[in-house]
Structure 1
Amino acid sequence: MATEPTTDQPADGPAAATGSMTALGTIAQWVDSVLPAEPTADARDAIDELIPTGDGQREYVFRFSALICLSAWIASFGLLADSGAVVIGAMLVAPLMTPIMGAAAAVVTADNRRLLRAMIIIALGTTLAIAVGWATSLIAGGSVIDVRALPGEIRGRTFPGLLDLGVAISAGAAAGYIQPRRSAIAALPGVGIAVALVPPLATVGITAELGLGEESRNAFLLYLTNLAAIIFAAGLVLLLSGFRPHQRHGRGALRKRLFVTTLAVLVVAIPLFRHTRSVIRDLRLESAVVQSVEVWDPDARIVEIRADIAGDEADIELVIVSQGEAEPAWALAELIRDRFDGPVALSVLYQGDEHFVVNAR
């Protein structure tokens, strides 16, 4: 009796081995099918029109300079007046996002001329914004001898942390997605609000004129953080959108530029990490002070607190209002020391809470 040939193979035969060997290849093919090989002509035009060349370049530079100065003036007055709404208005006027996106596009396409033009325009805008902030502070800023006397809008830009880096990377990725897509371009002003560019530069000028060197450097660090993160994230999104060098030798240049932008982000992340760690330690110290005061005198109310960490020692100044007699200050210092787990230098101004109700007829 004839038997029919079978086509079945063991589960561990060549077919199964082939399937397991090509799983990664299948994923790679799927990724390649999702990502466009080339951007559309409209997307390329949207990127090429960022920084005009030829006859339109002079007009663009003049318009850019005027908008930077106006934006920096608005931001400076808003910062000095401690008005968040005015500062947001300055972000909408600021044109710095355009050359920064041009730089990001130049990085992924290995276009040296475009990158040089973009960086020159960025440097011009940076210089003008700082100069306007300095001049505005000279005219209207008065004098500040204590950093705590600075308006909140200024102080908020003089101590950047890792959260600012996260915001800048997210905003840069959004800008890289929006810019080549004209249908989504209306969302670009939201990116300008999310990642402040001109307000930190105005803060640099204001604090420099007031003689606050450390605050000025920290504000400039915030600007550099935004700049590096936007170029990195926007360039990466543009690369995933199909923007690549045309020439074969440009692939090596692309890798070098991506390495440089990644390195720039890592470099600015180091001081941001230190600032963030310092903020966490200050918050931990302040929490230890508040909890210790509650144990030391349940009726006490903290009117003012200043808690700084210098090296391993906590330097604390307190103004406390309470009823009755004050407990020994050394007892409060020991409570704080035990909670903070470190030496403490404590200064306490204890005031009696006196309440008078009188009538004069």
Structure 2
Amino acid sequence: MIKSPYSLMELDAIAQLYYKDITSAFGLKAQLLAAPTNDMKPVMNYIHTHLREILLGKPDRLEFHASVIDPLIDAAKAAYLVNNPVITVKGVQLTPAKMTTYINNWAKDAIRSIFNYDTDKTTSFTRRNGGALAYRHAKRLAISSCPYCNALFTFTIRNKRIKTRPEFDHFLNKGRYPYLALSFYNLIPSCSLCNSGTLKGQKKFSITTHLHPFIDHIEGLYEFRTKVDAVDFLVNGDDFTLKLQPCTGVGKIARARAEKSIGEFAIEDRYSFHKDYAGEILTKAYVYNNSTIEALFTSFDIGGHNIFSSPAEIKELIMGNVLHPDRFHKRILSKLTKDIAEEFGLTI
């Protein structure tokens, strides 16, 4: 998880704009009030009362509301079963097992039809007006590399020739929590691989077990290391294994959350294919050490003006990447670059 470029205050400001878009497009309050007077009414009433926080609340508040809403849904399903002890579909009476599936879908569909993330091709968040809502939201966030893996770009482009944007991963699964399908802090711009069934899929995530990209980051918790001597690598051709290892002094809980996230997104397996890149960074860091950087900084003077603003600018030019965590979102493999450069003495 790379560091978010935004403070929580800045995210809240973006969230306010998002809230205006969503409430205007979907009329959620009106839909919740208009929901049929049936066993789901207590659920709809609770969501209506707490709608603003359900859409804008921080991850801990979303999980709190989930802990209240889920029992209400269970009660609604139990009441439905009492009121409908026999369910017939197309003239066929359902078995107990099929009745359970039917009732589960009945409850979820009632909510999905309101918090319509992707349930249809014309009115959903992802497809309404050609996907304008989703593209506008992605453009406001302006995160160009996946915050989960930092290995794939997530550019947002929408013009006559091309349309592309990051996918939105639901940190709290939208299938399990359909009422959080449009919640700002539950929509994480991500690459298609991190959002795929192959990796995150339907796995249960929580802020107690995983890092949340908007409020957490892996910096200071885990770092990439080669553990190879520079001379052995450069002169003797020794191989190395690119590993993510815990930083010194990391607490047990923080380490467990980071380790869980690293495992879910298969970070080490995926980064093993970037050993050649890590080797290039190692070489550059050895050749262009801090004293060499300082000499370059002082030597490039044109008419009494240095063409570089700082030695850090030269380091990023040489490494071909950003090296400060606040800007990791701009480039892929930026954390890897910074960590390996640091391992061989080139600090930002």
Do the structures match in fold with TM over 0.5?
no
TM-score with structure 1 setting the length: 0.28
Task: State the structure with bigger RCO (CA 8 A, min sep 6), 1 or 2.
Answer: 2
Q: Considering fraction of residues, name the structure with more helix.
A: 1
